[in-house]
Amino acid sequence: MESFRMKKQNQEVSQGETYRVLIPRFLVDGMLGSLSRKLRILGFDTMYDKESNDTKLVLEAQKEGRILVTSDVRLQQEAKRRGVECVLITTPTDKERLVELFLKIGIKRLNSDTASRCSSCNGELIPTEEKTREGKEIYSCRECRKLYWKGGHWKKLEALFREVGSRLEN
- From 105, 104, 76, 102, select the one nearest 7 (Cα to Cα): 105
Can you list the alpha helix ranges (DSSP code H) found in the chain? 33-41, 54-64, 73-81, 94-105, 152-169
Minimum distance between the CB of residue 151 and Zn ion, rounded to whole angstroms? 17
> Which amino acid belongs to residue 85?
E
Q: What is d(CA 160, CA 24) in angstroms, rounded to the nearest whole number?
A: 21
Binding to Zn ion (CB under 5 A) within 60-119 occurs at 118
- Given 144, 158, 162, 163, the residue binding Zn ion (CB under 5 A): 144
Our finding on whether 143 is near Zn ion (CB under 5 A) is yes
Our finding on whether 121 is near Zn ion (CB under 5 A) is yes
Our finding on whether 125 is near Zn ion (CB under 5 A) is no
Q: What is d(CA 98, CA 35) in angstroms, rounded to the nearest whole number?
A: 7
- Number of chain residues interacting with Zn ion (CB under 5 A): 8
Our finding on whether 58 is near Zn ion (CB under 5 A) is no
Q: With contact defined as beta carbons under 8 Å apart, do 61 and 82 qualify?
A: no
Our finding on whether 124 is near Zn ion (CB under 5 A) is no
| Closer residue to Zn ion in complex, CB, 71/119 | 119
- Given 77, 96, 123, 136, the residue binding Zn ion (CB under 5 A): 123
Q: Which residues bind Zn ion (CB under 5 A)?
A: 118, 120-121, 123, 141, 143-144, 146
